C-alpha cells in the first residue's frame, strides 16, 4: 500500500495538472468569485446611492441567463415555430436561429466598465474635441416618477452623440443604447456591449429577428432599464431633424399595458459647431445612399494627428457641442388621450426640434445666405436672426460676450475650412457643406436672411 510507484514524467505532469485544475475549479475559483462579487455588490450599492435612477437587476443579470430568458420567451418560441412552418425548416433549426439572434442582441453590461472607464473616457473625449454646453433642462424632468422607465429620444447628428450623452447623464443613470451594425467590429463591439448597448439590424425584414428584437426591447422596458434611441434611424444627411421611424417606438407601445410602469420619453436635442462626419454625410446625401465607407486607419491617423497638435497647443477644439433636454412625455398620458404610435413619433420629433440648441457656426452659416457685402452687414444679419429666434422661443447657446463674439466664433471656423472666402462669399464647391450647417437652425418662417 505504501510502496513506490514509478510513472513517466509526462504522466506525473498530467496528473498534477488535473489535480491543479480540479482544486482551482472546486475551491479556488469559487472563493475568488465570491470575493470579487462581494466587492462588486458593495461598489454597486455605493453607485446606486448617488444615481437618480438606480441600475436595475435586469441589466445586471448574467448575459447567458438573459440570452436564455429571451430565447425561451413564449412569444419568441411561437415566432420560431411560425417561422419554421412558413419556411419549411425543422423547428430545432428555427429555434437555434432565434437563439443566435438573442445572442447577437443581448448586451453584457458591466458597471465597472461603464462607470470606471466609459463615462470617464466620454468626458475626456468630449472636452478634448469641443466646448460642451447644456442648452436647456426642462424643470418637469425633476418630477418624473422614480418607478417609470425613462427613454431618451434624440436627433442623430454625429457618432459623437453616444459619447456626449453618456457623459452628460452619467450622474443620473446608466443608459442602454440601440446601436446599428456599424459597431459590430471587434474589439469595439465587445466594449460597446459591456457598456450596455444592444445591437440592431436596421431595415431587417426578417420576421423572426424583429420578434426577438421586439421582445428584448419590451422586456428591458418592463424591467425599468433606462434606454436611449435615435428615432430618425440614422445620421441626418441634410442637417435637419428628420421624421421618426417607428420600429423601436412601436415595440415599446405594443408591449406596454396600463397595469405596467409608465414609460417616459425625454426629448434631447443635440447640436455641434463641427460635425466630424460632415463631408461623408453631405456626400451620402448627394449620392442618395447611406453606404458609408469604413476607413478606420484614416480615422485613426487623423485622430492621432489632432490629439498630438491639441496637446502641443497647436490647435483648438472644434467649437461648441450642446444638448437641450425638453419636457418629458408620458406614454400612459399619450395613449389615454387617444394617441397613436404615429402621433407619438411626430410629437417626439417636434419636441426634439424645439430643444436643439442654436450654435455660432450654424447661425452664421444661416445668416450668410448667398454672401454678405461686408462684415458689418453680416453682423446686422446675425443680430436680426438672433432676435427673431429668441422671439420664436429657440434655444440659443451663444457666447455671453455678445453678437460680436458670436460672429467671430461662427465665421472663423468657416473661413479656416475654406467654406467662406475672405470677401464673405460662400465657396461654390463647398456650398452643400455650408447648407448642411445652416439647415440645423430652426425654421422661423424665412427662406433667406434679410438684405442690408
Q: What percent of the chain has pLDDT over 70?
A: 82
Residue 23 has pLDDT above 70, yes or no: no
Neighbour-count burial of 158, counting CB atoms closer than 10 A to its CB (0-12 exposed, 13-18 middle, 19+ buried): buried
User: Looking at 157-161, 305-309, 403-407, which range is the least confident one?
Assistant: 305-309
Nearest to 409 by CA among 284, 286, 322, 332: 322
Nearest to 344 by CA among 360, 332, 361: 332
Task: Give the C-alpha separation, 289 to 283, whole Å.
Answer: 9
Which three cell numbers, joined as nine digits, stand for 368?
Answer: 450668410
Which three cell numbers, joined as nine digits, stand for 74?
Answer: 413564449
Do β-strands 227-229 and 149-154 pair in parallel, antiparallel, or remain unpaired?
parallel
Cβ atoms of 330 and 369 closer than 8 Å: no
Q: At what angle do helices 360-368 and 403-416 cross, to 10 degrees?
A: 80
What average pLDDT score do residues 201-216 get? 89
pLDDT of 8 reads: 76
Instruction: Decide if domain 108-354 falls under CATH 3.40.1130.
Output: yes
Which backbone phi and psi does 338 adopt, to 5 degrees?
90, 15
Task: Give the C-alpha separation, 452 to 450, whole Å.
Answer: 7
Task: Give the C-alpha separation, 309 to 318, whole Å.
Answer: 13
User: Looking at 208-217, 255-264, 304-313, 413-422, which range is the least confident one?
Assistant: 304-313
Task: Give the C-alpha separation, 227 to 107, whole Å.
Answer: 13
Chain-centroid distance, C-alpha 424 = 36
Task: Give the C-alpha separation, 43 to 269, whole Å.
Answer: 33
Task: Give the C-alpha separation, 201 to 48, whole Å.
Answer: 32
CB atoms within 10 A of CB 15: 11
238-254 residue pLDDT tens: 999 999 998 999 999 99
Which residue in the block uniquely carries the three cell numbers 443566435? 100
* Local structure of residue 256 (DSSP, 8 states): -
pLDDT of 450 reads: 43
Q: Which residue ranges make up each domain of the chain?
A: 57-103, 108-354, 360-438
108-152 residue pLDDT tens: 877 777 877 888 889 998 998 999 999 888 888 888 998 899 999
- Determine the straight-line distance between the first and last CA of the chain, rounded to whole angstroms: 109
Task: Give the C-alpha separation, 230 to 152, whole Å.
Answer: 9
Residue 33 has pLDDT above 50, yes or no: no
**H or E segment and range at residue 273:** none
What average pLDDT score do residues 267-290 get? 90
Q: Is the CA virtual torsion 339, 341, 343, 347 positive or negative? A: positive
Amino acid at each position: 500500500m505504501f510502496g513506490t510507484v514509478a510513472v513517466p514524467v509526462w504522466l506525473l505532469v498530467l496528473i498534477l495538472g488535473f489535480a491543479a485544475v480540479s482544486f482551482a475549479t472546486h475551491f479556488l475559483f469559487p472563493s475568488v468569485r465570491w470575493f470579487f462579487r462581494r466587492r462588486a455588490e458593495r461598489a454597486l450599492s455605493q453607485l446606486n446611492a448617488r444615481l437618480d435612477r438606480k441600475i436595475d437587476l435586469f441589466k445586471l443579470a448574467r448575459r447567458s441567463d438573459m440570452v436564455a430568458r429571451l430565447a425561451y420567451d413564449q412569444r419568441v418560441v411561437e415566432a420560431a415555430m411560425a417561422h419554421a412552418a412558413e419556411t419549411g425548416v425543422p423547428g430545432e433549426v428555427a429555434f437555434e436561429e432565434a437563439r443566435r439572434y438573442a445572442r447577437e442582441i443581448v448586451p453584457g453590461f458591466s458597471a465597472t466598465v461603464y462607470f470606471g472607464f466609459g463615462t470617464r473616457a466620454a468626458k475626456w473625449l468630449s472636452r478634448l474635441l469641443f466646448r460642451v454646453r447644456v442648452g436647456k433642462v426642462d424643470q418637469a424632468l425633476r418630477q418624473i416618477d422614480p418607478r417609470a422607465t425613462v427613454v431618451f429620444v434624440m436627433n442623430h447628428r454625429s457618432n459623437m452623440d453616444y459619447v456626449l450623452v453618456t457623459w452628460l447623464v452619467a450622474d443620473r443613470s446608466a443608459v442602454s443604447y440601440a446601436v446599428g451594425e456599424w459597431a459590430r467590429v471587434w474589439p469595439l463591439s465587445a466594449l460597446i456591449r459591456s457598456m450596455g448597448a444592444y445591437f440592431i439590424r436596421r431595415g431587417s425584414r426578417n420576421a423572426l429577428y424583429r420578434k426577438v428584437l421586439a421582445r428584448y426591447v419590451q422586456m428591458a422596458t418592463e424591467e425599468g432599464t433606462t434606454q436611449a434611441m435615435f428615432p430618425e434611424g440614422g445620421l441626418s444627411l441634410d442637417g435637419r431633424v428628420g421624421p421618426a421611424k417607428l420600429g423601436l417606438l412601436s415595440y415599446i407601445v405594443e408591449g406596454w399595458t396600463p397595469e405596467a410602469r409608465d414609460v417616459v420619453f425625454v426629448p434631447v436635442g443635440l447640436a455641434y459647431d463641427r460635425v466630424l462626419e460632415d463631408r461623408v454625410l453631405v456626400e451620402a446625401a448627394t449620392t442618395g445612399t447611406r453606404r458609408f465607407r469604413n476607413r478606420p486607419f484614416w480615422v485613426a491617423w487623423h485622430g492621432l494627428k489632432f490629439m498630438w497638435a491639441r496637446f502641443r497647443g497647436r490647435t483648438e477644439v472644434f467649437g461648441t457641442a450642446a444638448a437641450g433636454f425638453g419636457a418629458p412625455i408620458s406614454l400612459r398620458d399619450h395613449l389615454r388621450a387617444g394617441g397613436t404610435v404615429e402621433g407619438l413619433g411626430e410629437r417626439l420629433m417636434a419636441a426634439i426640434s424645439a430643444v436643439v440648441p442654436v450654435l455660432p457656426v450654424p447661425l452664421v452659416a444661416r445668416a450668410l445666405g448667398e454672401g454678405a457685402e461686408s462684415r458689418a452687414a453680416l453682423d446686422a444679419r446675425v443680430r436680426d436672426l438672433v432676435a427673431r429666434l429668441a422671439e420664436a422661443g429657440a434655444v440659443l447657446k451663444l457666447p455671453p460676450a455678445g453678437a460680436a463674439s458670436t460672429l467671430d466664433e461662427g465665421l472663423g471656423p468657416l473661413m479656416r475650412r475654406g467654406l467662406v472666402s475672405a470677401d464673405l462669399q460662400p465657396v461654390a464647391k463647398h456650398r452643400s457643406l455650408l447648407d448642411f450647417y445652416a439647415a440645423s437652425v430652426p425654421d422661423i418662417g424665412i427662406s433667406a436672411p434679410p438684405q442690408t
